[in-house]
């Protein structure tokens, strides 16, 4: 009975102690929520456009293209100006009057024809690593776009060269039909005449396609348009096959074997159809499709809205729950030691179990209330989705809170005074911002930095709560067991430390 009374005493004391500090509760619940709300309302999904200055030689086709597409660039780039002088542009960048300077090469065609890639230089003054990555990424996309547009032009030109050959192809089919008919009638002279004409037409096609292919080879291969050039090569191969079959038909006609002549005629017909198909494919496929054969279609299988506050809200709740446990836990024993109450505990019939369990229950009640209030605000006011089960969310919160209280109490037992305990608490908060997956995914960290992540209860909590709220998944068993293990170890360490503290120098 005494043990129950002692546990209840600590529960009542810890809860009353916190409840008597309404400002502290407001700081713990209302203030973080308002910060999250302000963040959610104020955050722009797209970055503000960069002010860019373009440098290119007079009459540059690149510059014309950029100016023509200025409307499309507007989301990402605002054109502050253009010029031919690189030094002026760089001075503007150094003075912070523009964010980005894009320098197009002077003689790109010569460089490309010389077998080298022509660089488009992008200069900037940004220091934020995330912005650096964004600029690098955007530059690659822009250059890819330029490459694609050039390739598209080349392919269109190649197709335009080949387009007049459509007529010879159509005539070739008619000539073959006429030759077949003449063979059937035993009119070998007419058949031979038609076949000669057919051969001439195929020769025209071959010459035209070879010219188109050469054009594609010259520009396209170096720019990575192999697929397009391969299309022309396929047509050339098919035409050569037609010419070979034509020879076979002629030889069969000379032999005087009508059956063999028909068979060879059929095969020539098939070869001509194949050549016609590949020619039609080469000339009819959209240049845009040929140079950009794949396009990405991104679809999330999660029920999230893609709102930035949705992503951060569960982690913010977990971080605050962790900090509640760590902050109150870390000051617990330190304060009692500084107040001298530990001296009374040592003389009293009090064991570590009653002390630790009482504190855990007390802090869990208050911390659970804080967590529940934050969750309610996040879901009801910020409209963050709760795709999974509430019970899973509660379990994740509870285990994170218990582990955090344990961590806090362990800090309290290890700290010689409350200043140091507060410092440890702040270090835990700082570490949590970087290592718990709050901003950066834990998977982006390498060991041993990642090991540090798993010393923080919020790392487990973030993963579990995001999965539950945003993905609608059940709690990952491995993470759940690991968090439970963490809480159990923290309890054991705290119990052992409390036992030592109560024993004093006994």
Partner 1 sequence: MTAADSLEPAIVTHGAGKSFGGDSILRDLDLVIERGTIVGVIGPSGCGKTTMIRMLTGISPATSGEVRVLGADPASFDSRTRTRIGYMPQIPVLYPHLSLWANLNFMASLYGVPLRHRRRRLRELQEFVALGDDRGKRLADCSGGMQRRLTLAATLVHGPELLFLDEPTAGIDPLLRDRFWERFRLLRDEGRTIVVSTQYVGESTMCDVVAVIVEGRLLTVAAPEQLRRSAFGGDVVHVTPERGWMTVAELQAVAELPYVASATRDDDRIRIVLRSIDDVGQLAAHFQDVDVAIGMIDTVPPTFDEVFVTLMRHAESRAAAVVA
Among 312, 345, 435, 486, binds partner 1 (CB under 8 A): 345
Q: Are strands 77-83 and 50-55 parallel, antiparallel or unpaired?
A: parallel
Rounded to the nearest whole angstrom, what is the least distance from the CB of residue 23 to partner 1 in the complex? 12
d(CA 158, CA 287): 10
Q: Give yes or no for residue 347 binding partner 1 (CB under 8 A).
A: yes
Whichever of 17 and 248 has its CB closer to partner 1, that residue is 17
d(CA 450, CA 200): 72
Q: Give yes or no for residue 352 binding partner 1 (CB under 8 A).
A: no
Q: Give yes or no for residue 26 binding partner 1 (CB under 8 A).
A: no
Rounded to the nearest whole angstrom, what is the least distance from the CB of residue 25 to partner 1 in the complex? 13
Among 341, 381, 455, 492, binds partner 1 (CB under 8 A): 341
- The interface region with partner 1, picked from 4-12, 26-34, 128-136, 240-248 by CB under 8 A, is 4-12
Q: Give yes or no for residue 23 binding partner 1 (CB under 8 A).
A: no
Contact at 8 Å (CB) between 161 and 215? Answer: yes
The three-class DSSP label of residue 80 is strand
Rounded to the nearest whole angstrom, what is the least distance from the CB of residue 17 to partner 1 in the complex? 5
Q: Give yes or no for residue 255 binding partner 1 (CB under 8 A).
A: no
Whichever of 206 and 336 has its CB closer to partner 1, that residue is 336
- Total number of residues binding partner 1 (CB under 8 A)? 27
Rounded to the nearest whole angstrom, what is the least distance from the CB of residue 52 to partner 1 in the complex? 59
d(CA 83, CA 315): 47
d(CA 196, CA 189): 11
Q: Give yes or no for residue 346 binding partner 1 (CB under 8 A).
A: yes
Contact at 8 Å (CB) between 93 and 51? Answer: no
Rounded to the nearest whole angstrom, what is the least distance from the CB of residue 495 to partner 1 in the complex? 17
Which x/- pattern over 475-504 shows residues binding partner 1 (rule: CB under 8 A)? -----------------------------x
Q: Give yes or no for residue 21 binding partner 1 (CB under 8 A).
A: yes
Whichever of 20 and 44 has its CB closer to partner 1, that residue is 20
Among 6, 60, 468, 494, binds partner 1 (CB under 8 A): 6
Rounded to the nearest whole angstrom, what is the least distance from the CB of residue 337 to partner 1 in the complex? 10
| All residues at 6 or more sequence positions from 77 whose CB lies less than 8 Å from its CB, including other chains | 49, 50, 51, 52, 100
Could you write out the DSSP letters of every residue in 103-171? Answer: E--S-HHHHHHTT-PPP-EEEE----HHHHHHHHHHHHHHHHHHHHHHHHHHHHHHHHHHGGGHHHHHH
Query: Would you state the structure tokens that stand for residue 415, as one six-digit string?
Result: 């700290």
The DSSP H or E segment spanning 31 is: helix 22-42
Dihedral-angle region of residue 186 (phi above 0 means left; psi in -120 to 50 means alpha; beta otherwise):
left
Whichever of 261 and 355 has its CB closer to partner 1, that residue is 355
Whichever of 57 and 504 has its CB closer to partner 1, that residue is 504
The Cα-based distances of 252 to 175, 188, 245, 262, 400 in angstroms read 18, 11, 10, 9, 87
Q: Give yes or no for residue 12 binding partner 1 (CB under 8 A).
A: yes
Among 244, 293, 343, 444, binds partner 1 (CB under 8 A): 343
- The interface region with partner 1, picked from 124-132, 161-169, 333-341, 366-374 by CB under 8 A, is 333-341
Contact at 8 Å (CB) between 111 and 117? Answer: yes
- The interface region with partner 1, picked from 5-13, 113-121, 448-456, 458-466 by CB under 8 A, is 5-13
Letter string b/e over residues 148-186, b meaning 16 or more CB atoms within 10 A of that residue's CB: bbbbbebbebbbebbeebbebbeebeebbebbbebbeee
- The interface region with partner 1, picked from 2-10, 53-61, 258-266, 323-331 by CB under 8 A, is 2-10
The DSSP H or E segment spanning 77 is: strand 77-83
d(CA 230, CA 235): 9
d(CA 436, CA 430): 10
Whichever of 13 and 107 has its CB closer to partner 1, that residue is 13
Among 16, 133, 300, 444, binds partner 1 (CB under 8 A): 16
Whichever of 9 and 148 has its CB closer to partner 1, that residue is 9
Residue carrying the six token digits 């700081």: 27
Query: Would you state the structure tokens that stand for residue 398, as one six-digit string?
Result: 């509870």
Rounded to the nearest whole angstrom, what is the least distance from the CB of residue 433 to partner 1 in the complex? 30
Query: Would you state the structure tokens that stand for residue 6, as one six-digit string?
Result: 């002692």
Q: Give yes or no for residue 344 binding partner 1 (CB under 8 A).
A: yes
- The interface region with partner 1, picked from 148-156, 204-212, 315-323, 347-355 by CB under 8 A, is 347-355
Rounded to the nearest whole angstrom, what is the least distance from the CB of residue 404 to partner 1 in the complex? 22
- The interface region with partner 1, picked from 172-180, 335-343, 444-452, 477-485 by CB under 8 A, is 335-343
Binding site for partner 1 (CB under 8 A): 1-2, 5-6, 8-9, 12-13, 16-17, 20-21, 339-341, 343-351, 504-506
């Amino acid at each position: 009975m005494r043990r129950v009374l002692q546990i209840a005493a600590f529960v009542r004391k810890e809860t009353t102690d916190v409840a008597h500090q309404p400002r502290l509760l407001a700081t713990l619940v209302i203030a973080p929520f308002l910060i999250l709300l302000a963040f959610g309302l104020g955050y722009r999904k797209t970055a503000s456009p960069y002010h860019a200055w373009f440098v290119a030689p007079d009459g540059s086709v690149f510059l014309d293209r950029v100016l023509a597409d200025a409307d499309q660039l507007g989301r990402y780039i605002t054109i502050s100006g253009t010029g031919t002088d690189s030094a002026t542009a760089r001075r503007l960048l150094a003075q912070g009057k523009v964010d980005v300077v894009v320098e197009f090469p002077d003689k790109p065609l010569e460089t490309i024809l010389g077998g080298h890639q022509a660089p488009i230089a992008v200069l900037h003054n940004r220091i934020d690593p995330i912005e650096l990555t964004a600029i690098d990424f955007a530059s690659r996309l822009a250059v890819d776009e330029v490459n694609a547009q050039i390739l598209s032009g080349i392919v269109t030109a190649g197709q335009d060269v080949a387009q007049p050959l459509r007529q010879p192809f159509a005539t070739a089919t008619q000539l073959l039909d006429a030759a077949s008919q003449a063979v059937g009638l035993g009119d070998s002279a007419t058949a031979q005449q038609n076949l000669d004409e057919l051969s001439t037409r195929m020769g025209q096609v071959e010459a035209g396609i070879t010219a188109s292919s050469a054009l594609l080879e010259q520009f396209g291969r170096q720019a990575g348009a192999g697929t397009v050039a391969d299309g022309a090569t396929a047509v050339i191969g098919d035409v050569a096959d037609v010419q070979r079959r034509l020879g076979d038909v002629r030889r069969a006609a000379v032999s005087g074997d009508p059956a063999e002549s028909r068979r060879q005629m059929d095969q020539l017909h098939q070869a001509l159809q194949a050549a016609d198909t590949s020619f039609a494919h080469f000339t009819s496929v959209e240049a845009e499709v040929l140079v950009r054969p794949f396009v990405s279609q991104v679809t999330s299988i999660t029920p999230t809205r893609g709102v930035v506050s949705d992503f951060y809200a569960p982690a913010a709740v977990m971080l605050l729950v962790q900090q509640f446990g760590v902050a109150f836990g870390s000051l617990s024993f330190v304060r009692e030691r500084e107040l001298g109450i530990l001296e009374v505990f040592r003389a009293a019939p009090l064991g570590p179990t009653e002390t630790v369990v009482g504190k855990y229950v007390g802090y869990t009640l208050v911390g659970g209330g804080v967590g529940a209030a934050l969750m309610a605000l996040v879901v009801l006011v910020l409209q963050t989705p709760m795709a999974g089960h509430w019970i899973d969310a509660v379990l994740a919160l509870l285990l994170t809170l218990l582990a955090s209280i344990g961590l806090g109490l362990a800090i309290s037992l290890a700290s010689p005074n409350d200043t140091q305990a507060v410092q440890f608490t702040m270090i835990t908060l700082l570490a949590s911002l970087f290592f718990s997956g709050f901003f950066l995914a834990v998977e982006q960290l390498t060991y041993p930095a990642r090991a540090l992540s798993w010393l923080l209860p919020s790392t487990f909590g973030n993963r579990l709560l995001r999965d539950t709220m945003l993905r609608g998944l059940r709690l990952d068993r491995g993470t759940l067991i690991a968090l439970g293990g963490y809480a159990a170890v923290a309890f054991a360490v705290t119990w052992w430390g409390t036992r030592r503290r109560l024993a004093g120098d006994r």
